[in-house]
Structure 1
C-alpha cells in the first residue's frame, strides 16, 4: 500500500497547506547533471506562448548562465518569454551579503532583469535569522494545452557552475568554491521533470509562498533599500490556478517540504512543516536491504540517527553514501565545522553498521574531485526521493526545502534511478551481477590502489574513491562545534518538538 511508504495527511502534520497527501498518474524523468536539465528547460520555455504561466523559485540566480553551450542565458530565456506575453513570476532568496560568500548582488541583478522585461521576481527573505529559501522549482502551465504542463524539482539552481556534463569537466561558467575542486569545479546534480497531476501540487507550493501577505523581509534596512531602489514589494495577483493536468503516467508522487517554525510566520505552515524529515523517517524504517544516498552534506547525528537505527535493527541492511570529498568553503571557519558535523554523523553510522556502511567520493578522469550537490535517496529500490534537501538538521528543520518522493506500482522507477546513477559513478554501460555495495567497494579499492602506486598503468574504470574523513583536531573541535550548531546546521523546530526529540 502507498500509505506504508508515503506520509498520510495526518502524518504530514500540517493541516494548513492546500497540497494533498500524494497524487497518482504521474510521469517522472530524472535529468542527471546540469547540461541535461538546462537543455530540457530551455526547450520547454521556448514553446510557451502568450497567456501561459511560468513560475519558479531559486536559491541563487545568475542572469548570464548559459542554458546550452553556445545558446542564450537563462536571464535572456526568461525575459524573452515575458516579452512575448508569458506571465513570468519568480521567488528568489534575497540572500546574505556577498562578503559572506553568498549571492545578494547576483540575486538582485536576476530579479531586476526579469522585472525590466515585464515579469515579476520577488526577493524573498521570509526566513529564520541565518536561514534561506532553498527550494528549486519551475512550473510551466499552458491554458488549453495541458499536455504541455510540467514542473521541475531538484537540486539545480539557475546559476553559474551547474551546467556540467556527465563527464564532469566542469561548467565553463564556473562558480567559486574551494580551490581543491579546480578552476572549473566538476558538479554532480539531479533534477526531476514531472508531468501529470503532481504539477498542480508543485504550483500550489509556489502559490502558498507568493500569496503570503507578510512583508518580504522583517529587516527595516531591506525595506528602506527596496524603497530607494524602487524594488517590487507588492506583487500582483496570480491568475486562478488551472485544474491539475491529466494523468501522464503510472507513478505516485508525494511532495515533502521543510518550513521552520517562525513567529508570525507562514499562514500555510504556522507551526512549520517537517514532512521531509518525517517522510525520510517513515521510509527508512522500512529499509531491509539497501539505502542508496547521494548528498552534499550528510551531517548531524540528530538526522543520521534514523539511518543508524535502521542499520542496528536490520543486520542485512547496507548503506551506500556518495558525498563530496571536501567542503565547498575554502576557509577554516567554513570548512572545519562542516568536517566536524560529518565526522560525528559518520562515526554514528559506522558504530551502527560497521562494514555495512560504504562511503565514497567521486573524481573525474583528470583526478579532480567532483562536488556532489545531488540530494537523492533510494530505499530498497522502492521509495526514491530527489529534491533540494540535504541530510542535515538545517535542511530538515530550518530552511525552506522541497523534494519529491516517488513510488512505482511496476517497481522499476527507483531501481532504474539508482542503477543509472551507479553506472555513471562506475563508468559502466551495464552493472555486473552481485550486490552493488561489493561492486562499489571493488571499484573504489582498485582506483585507490592505482593512485597509491603513483598512477602506474592504465587508470581503472570508475570515479569512486573510499571517503576518508579527516580528523578534526581536538583544539579545533571546541570552536567548530559552536559554529556548526549556530551557523552551519541550526535547528528550526519549535521547542515542543526539540524537547520530544521529534520532527
Structure 2
C-alpha cells in the first residue's frame, strides 16, 4: 500500500477547474502528470496507454500516455494504477481490455531501467463478489449461449469443465491523485472511445459528453486515502472510514450467498447525498446522467416535487443508451434497462409536471430521421457525465449513474461540493457547454432557469438544426418503446 509522503512539494494547477469533455480534461490531466514530484495514484474503469497526448508540453515526452508515464517513472515518480477487471464470459470485451492494459504496462516496464520499472504498479482488480449457485443456475442458459459465442482463445479455461462463475460487480470510479495534493475526478475514462470536443462535431457514435474536475486541497488527500484502501474495504477486511469530501458506493461479497446475485452494499453515500440534496432543494435540481433507472432516485425526485410546488428540474439524458443507439443491441439487458428508465421518467414527470425540463443533446445538422442514432432529425450526442447541482449551494460530480448498479453495487467515487464559488463555476461551465454561449441571468437563476430552458428547447424542436440555439432538444421517453421489457422479480440493480 502506498504510504503518505512527508514531502509537500508545490504542484502548480488551478485551485478548481471544470473540464468538459476530453478536449479540456485530458490536457489538464497530462500537465498534472508532468508536474508530479513523488507519486501518482489512480483508479479507472478503463485505461489505454496508447491514448494520444494532446497538450504541447506532454507531447515533448512522446505521442502517447505510455511515453508520458515512462517520463514520470524516469523522473523518480511512483505510479500506481488500478483498472477494473470484468467477468470473462459476460463482459469478455471489457475483460480483454483490462488484460491489454496489463500487457501495455509490461511493455512500458521492459523499456525502462530496473529502478524506474520498479516504480510502476498496474493492477487489473476483479471485484470479489460472485453470484451464488442459485442465480448461476438460473442464468445458465444465457451464460452458456454467451460462452459459445466467444472465440475459443477468450474462453476461461475452467468453463470447459463446469458452469463459469459470475462476477456481476466492477470498479466504475475514475479518480487520480497527484502527490496527494491534486485531485482529478469525474466520469471520464482514458481511452480512444472517450475522445470528443465541446463542439461534438464528429460522427454520432464517436461523441462523448463528460465532466471531470481538477482541484487542489484537502479533497486530494482524502481521495488518496480512498485509493490506498478501497480494495481492503471491498474485500471486507475493514470497515470503510467516514469521508467528508469523497462520497462512495462500496459493496462486499455476501457471506451466505447461495441465493444472491447481488453483493452486500456497505456504503451508498452517493445515493444518500442525492436524496438529501433533493429534499433540501428549494428552487432547482439540475442533473446530467447517462442513465435514470433507479426507482429510489425517481421516488426521491418525485417526493421533493410534491413537497415543494416551487421546485423545478432540469434533467439531461442521452437520447438512447449507447449500445442501443450505435450498436443495435436488443438483448434482454438493454430492454430491461430501457423499461426501468421509462418507468423512472414517468414517476418524475408526473410529479413535476410542467416544472420538469427533460432534454437530450443533438448536433446542429441534419441526419436520417428514422435511425436509432438520431433525435429530432439530428445525430445524437452521447451523454456520459454524472453531475448534480441543487440551487447554488450543493453539487456532486463523479462516476455514478442514477441506476441501482451505481448506487448499490459498483465501486464509485464522487466529489461533494459546498463552496458557492465552485458550484457557480460548475453551473456556468455545464450550462455554457449545452448552449454554446454565455447565457442571460434568467437562464442561470435557479428560480427561472427551468422555464427558460424549457422554452428554448421546445423552440429547438421545430427549428432547422443549423438554426437551433445550443445543442438540446426535448427528450423522447417513448422512443423505441417496443424494446422496453419489464422483468418482474428481477433486481433493478443489475442494469
Equivalent residue for 1:419, pick from 421, 425, 428: 428
Separation of aligned partners in 2, 1:376 and 1:478:
27
CA contact (8 A) 1:136 1:388 kept: yes
The CA deviation at 1:103 is 1.8
Separation of aligned partners in 2, 1:385 and 1:417:
10
| Per-residue deviation, residues 364-387 of structure 1 (Å, max 9, x unmatched) | 233321111000000111101100
Alignment correspondent of 2:450: 437
Separation of aligned partners in 2, 1:213 and 1:484:
21
The CA deviation at 1:482 is 6.6
The CA deviation at 1:210 is 5.0
Alignment correspondent of 1:396: 407
Equivalent residue for 1:196, pick from 217, 221, 241: 217
From the superposition, tell whether residues 91 and 423 of structure 1 become closer, same or farther in structure 2 (CA, over 3 Å): same
- 1:67-216 to 2 correspondences below 5 Å: 67-68=53-54, 71=59, 72-97=63-88, 100=91, 102-116=93-107, 117=109, 118=117, 119-128=120-129, 129-141=167-179, 149-170=181-202, 182-183=204-205, 185-209=206-230
The CA deviation at 1:200 is 0.8
From the superposition, tell whether residues 89 and 211 of structure 1 become closer, same or farther in structure 2 (CA, over 3 Å): farther
1:278 aligns with 2:268: no
CA contact (8 A) 1:112 1:121 kept: no
From the superposition, tell whether residues 287 and 82 of structure 1 become closer, same or farther in structure 2 (CA, over 3 Å): same
SS of residue in 2 equivalent to 1:103: helix
Separation of aligned partners in 2, 1:212 and 1:260:
8
1:477 aligns with 2:485: yes
Equivalent residue for 1:60, pick from 40, 46, 59: 46
- 1:304-315 to 2 correspondences below 5 Å: 304-315=298-309
The CA deviation at 1:76 is 2.7
SS of residue in 1 equivalent to 2:247: strand
Equivalent residue for 2:34, pick from 37, 41, 46: 46
The CA deviation at 1:101 is 6.6
CA contact (8 A) 2:222 2:245 kept: no
| Per-residue deviation, residues 80-99 of structure 1 (Å, max 9, x unmatched) | 32243211111110123487
From the superposition, tell whether residues 431 and 97 of structure 1 become closer, same or farther in structure 2 (CA, over 3 Å): farther
Separation of aligned partners in 1, 2:224 and 2:100:
25
Alignment correspondent of 1:359: 358
Alignment correspondent of 1:494: none
The CA deviation at 1:263 is 2.9
Separation of aligned partners in 1, 2:300 and 2:72:
44
- Further displaced range: 85-94 or 414-423: 414-423
CA contact (8 A) 2:236 2:252 kept: no
SS of residue in 2 equivalent to 1:272: strand
- Contiguous gaps of at least 5 residues in structure 1: 1-25, 143-148, 171-180, 217-251, 489-503
SS of residue in 2 equivalent to 1:430: coil
The count of corresponding residues between Structure 1 and Structure 2 is 399
Separation of aligned partners in 2, 1:91 and 1:280:
27
CA contact (8 A) 2:42 2:227 kept: yes
SS of residue in 2 equivalent to 1:315: coil
SS of residue in 1 equivalent to 2:273: helix
CA contact (8 A) 1:291 1:320 kept: yes
SS of residue in 2 equivalent to 1:263: coil
From the superposition, tell whether residues 429 and 471 of structure 1 become closer, same or farther in structure 2 (CA, over 3 Å): closer
- Further displaced range: 423-432 or 293-302: 423-432
| Per-residue deviation, residues 47-102 of structure 1 (Å, max 9, x unmatched) | 334xx111110101222111317842223322332243211111110123487474
TM-score of the two chains, using structure 1 as the length reference: 0.73
1:448 aligns with 2:461: yes
From the superposition, tell whether residues 428 and 484 of structure 1 become closer, same or farther in structure 2 (CA, over 3 Å): farther
SS of residue in 1 equivalent to 2:359: strand
From the superposition, tell whether residues 140 and 258 of structure 1 become closer, same or farther in structure 2 (CA, over 3 Å): same
| Per-residue deviation, residues 366-420 of structure 1 (Å, max 9, x unmatched) | 3321111000000111101100011111111010000011111xx3321331132
Equivalent residue for 2:474, pick from 455, 466, 473: 466
Alignment correspondent of 2:248: 257
CA contact (8 A) 1:419 1:431 kept: no
CA contact (8 A) 2:287 2:387 kept: yes
Alignment correspondent of 2:289: 295
| Per-residue deviation, residues 120-142 of structure 1 (Å, max 9, x unmatched) | 11111124331110011011117
Equivalent residue for 2:381, pick from 370, 387, 406: 370
CA contact (8 A) 1:78 1:114 kept: no
